[in-house]
Amino acid sequence: MSVAATDTRLGQERLHQHRRRRLLRTALLGVSLAYLAVLLLAPLAGILWVAFRHGFGDIAQTFSQPDVRHAFLLTAIIAVVTLAVTTFFGVIVAWVLARQRFRGKSLLNALVDLPLAVSPVTVGLIAVLLFGRGGWFEPWFSAQGIQVIFALPSMIMVTTFICIPFVIREVAPVLEELGTSEEDAARTLGASSIHSFRRVTLPNIRWGLFYGIALTTARAIGEIGAVLIVSGSVQGQTETATLYIFRALEERQTESAYVVALTLAAVSVVLLGTIEFFKRRSSRRDGS
């Protein structure tokens, strides 16, 4: 009898434990969902609501403004140039970091993260210091008739600087994990280094590279701090989409500001979503 009683007590104990564990799991899930809902979904919903409050009229009205169109054009130009530069050099730096051993490698590794550690405003200020009136490089550029500060060159320059880490940080670990054996195999089969990179390495790092590109794009079109400092924010001339939002808010054109903000957010979300979609589809097919 006492044995049976012990059994029941043990059973109840186990049941209690099981319930407690389930409760904890539910609580943690609830916290995560609430956290993400408050910080991610609520603002997004807010933007959506304000932008569409008066139907599509606000959107059409906003995009009919020449300033808005010019701002988007400028943002696009900056993003494309930034993307080209950071992708090309990013892959090279990632390759060097993953494959080569040299003195000062850890220094280079730390340096890559510098743009993430420094405030964009500081980056802008440094650019002004170097290229602005009385700056070190200003005389040379003005002798060539090139205006850097308060013009497109400096805006591209600071955005590129800020976007340096993304491609490198996405691609280097993939390269490292990949190892050199497939590249070695390609070489023994007669492939030149370029050929082996194009047909063996590149397809293997493509998802890392695409992620890096997507993050770079998102960062480039969203950058404001550094661009604000170096551009001078001249309406219709050096005003990017983010700078437009800034001015529109100050001038109480709330709807226009939200429409532009929503467009920028949509571009980033669509970009990341597309990559995720293709990645899933391809991993179903070839398992890579």
Partner 1 sequence: MSGTGSIRVEGLYKRFGDFLAVNDVTFTAEEGSITALLGPSGSGKSTVLRMIAGLEEPTAGRIFMEGAEHTYKSVQERRVGFVFQHYALFRHMTVQDNITFGLSVRKESKEFQKERLSELLELVQLGPFRDRYPDQLSGGQRQRVALARALAPRPRVLLLDEPFGALDARVRQELRRWLDELHRELGVTSLLVTHDQEEAMELANTVVVMHEGGVEQVGTPAEIYDHPSTAFVAGFVGAANVLAGHVVGGSIQFGDDRVAGAGHLEEGVAAQAFVRPHDVKLAGWEPREGSVVAVVDRVSRLGWLSQLTLRLPDGQQLLAQVPKDETEGVVEGVKVVVDLRNAKAFPAEAAARSAEAVV
Q: Supply the minimum distance, in Å, between the C-beta of residue 184 and partner 1.
A: 5
Euclidean distance between CA atoms 17 and 155, whole angstroms: 60
Query: Which of 191, 8, 171 is CA-nearest to residue 87?
Result: 171
Q: How far is the CB of 201 from partner 1 (least distance, A)?
A: 10
Comparing CB distances to partner 1, the nearer of 53 and 199 is: 199
Q: Give me the least distance between CB of 214 and partner 1, in Å please.
A: 20
Q: Which is nearer to partner 1, 20 or 195 (CB)?
A: 195
Nearer to partner 1, 5 or 194 (CB): 194
Interface ranges with partner 1 (CB under 8 A):
181-182, 184-192, 195, 199-200, 203-204, 286-288
Specify the length of the chain in residues: 288
The nearer residue to partner 1, 91 or 230, going by C-beta atoms, is 91
Q: Which is nearest to 255 in space by CA: 14, 57, 24? A: 57
| CA 33/CA 29 separation, integer angstroms | 6
Closer by beta carbon to partner 1, 13 or else 184? 184
- Rounded least distance, CB 210 to partner 1, Å: 14
Angle at 39 between CA 34 and CA 45, to 5 degrees: 100
Q: Which two tokens stand for residue 152?
A: 């497109």
Q: Which residue has the tokens 């398992």?
A: 287
> In the complex, what is the shortest distance from the CB of residue 135 to partner 1, in angstroms, rounded to a whole number?
46
